[in-house]
Amino acid sequence: MKNVFAVILTLIHLVALSQDYNVTSSKDEAVEIQTKERQFILDNFKNQHIVELNPGARFVVVSNKYTSSFEVLNLCPYRKSNCFDSKKPNILDNAWKVITLEKVEERNVSCPKGRCTRTYVVFNINNQLFEYELYDSKDNLIKENYRPKIDNLVSVDNIDKAKSLLIGKTLFINSQLWENESGLKFMKKFYPVTIKNIGATSDIITPIKVIFQSTDGIDYFMKMSDFSALDEYNCFPNLFSFDNPKEKYPEISDSVWEKIQSGKIETGMTKSECILSIGKPTSKNYDVSQDNITEQWVYRYSSSVMFLYFKDDILFSFQM
């Protein structure tokens, strides 16, 4: 009996010892730093699923010079079993007209599994009802991160609110790629511009068109994601700043800042200055010798490769 008791005590002691090495840190709440631009979006534009929108929400039917007379909206006649293209709304017939969301409804319908719940977003177009089918219940759709977009339909309500908040304001543009009616232009980034107008485009990825005027009085535009987007490459917080970005970097000289605005680099620039100018590298390599560490940054483009070489955080050489 004593031996059994001794074995139990030994096991308890071993378990206690093992717990000494099974350590955990206290949970840390994830803190997301909100820039002024991100907070502007959060305060003014809800990232809602289309099934969450209220009746009366407005959309514009968009088209471009390449839209053919045969193209139709992906909307079927309301509660009709057959949905042929000939029955769908023609895009050119409704181009740049504003349509309204009539209602969102769920139905229990036949499906390969037997009976399934489907959600229908119903639109009023010229006093006729058309619907867009989503393959789940409304609650399940809202839980998903995916936000479906209907080709050639852009929210008018977000555009109108953005117009009221931004037109006439001076912002700083964070991209060198500006556009005008003749095509893309390589201009200066972190440059002040005045917002002139905001509208829609036929591009499903960048459905918003922001027209702005440079300090020399010439109009340009930029296409971007919907105003509710926060994490897409072409979202508002990535493309525009309310404050002069230069003020964040008082240590950068005016001559270097001009290089950065033009997307250029020169020897003597720091790593952070290079990132501001041409972005983050595709990859990094290190060469360690007895005397120092040389860092190589690699930028891979569609038809070329550029190499930057740093020593003690300073760019000492680069090549294409």
- Supply the pLDDT for residue 19: 47
CA-to-CA distance for 266 and 40, rounded, in angstroms? 35
Express as a percent the part of the chain with pLDDT over 90. Answer: 74
At CA 47, angle to CA 140 and CA 122, rounded to 5? 60
- 101 CB-near residues (< 8 Å, 6+ apart): 53, 54, 55, 56, 57, 58, 59, 121, 122, 123, 124
- Dihedral of alpha carbons 261, 264, 269, 273, sign: positive
Task: Quickly tell me which residue has 């240590």 as its tokens.
Answer: 251
pLDDT at 204: 85
Query: What is the average pLDDT across 138-143?
Result: 92
Residue 25 has pLDDT above 50, yes or no: no
- Residues 128, 67: Cα–Cα separation, whole Å: 23
Give the pLDDT of residue 278: 94
- Residue 287 — left, alpha, or beta (φ > 0 → left; ψ -120 to 50 → alpha)? beta
Confidence of residue 106 (pLDDT cuts 50, 70, 90): very high
> 159: burial class by Cβ within 10 Å (0-12, 13-18, 19+)?
buried
pLDDT(97) > 80: yes
- State mean pLDDT over 142-151: 86
pLDDT of residue 86: 87
pLDDT exceeds 90 at position 2? no
Give per-residue pLDDT as tens, 217-237: 999 999 999 999 988 889 999
Higher pLDDT, 285 or 82: 285
Mean pLDDT of the chain: 88
Rounded to 5 degrees, what angle do the CA atoms 90, 93, 97 make?
105
pTM of the model: 0.80
Q: Cα dist. 239→129, 165, 206 in Å? A: 38, 16, 12
Taking the C-alpha atoms of residue 171 and residue 174, their distance in angstroms, rounded to an integer, is 10
Tell me: the pLDDT tens digits for 186-218?
999 999 999 999 999 998 889 999 999 999 999
Q: Classify strands 283-288 and 240-241 as parallel, antiparallel or unpaired.
A: unpaired
Tell me the residue length of the chain.
320
The three-class DSSP label of residue 311 is: strand
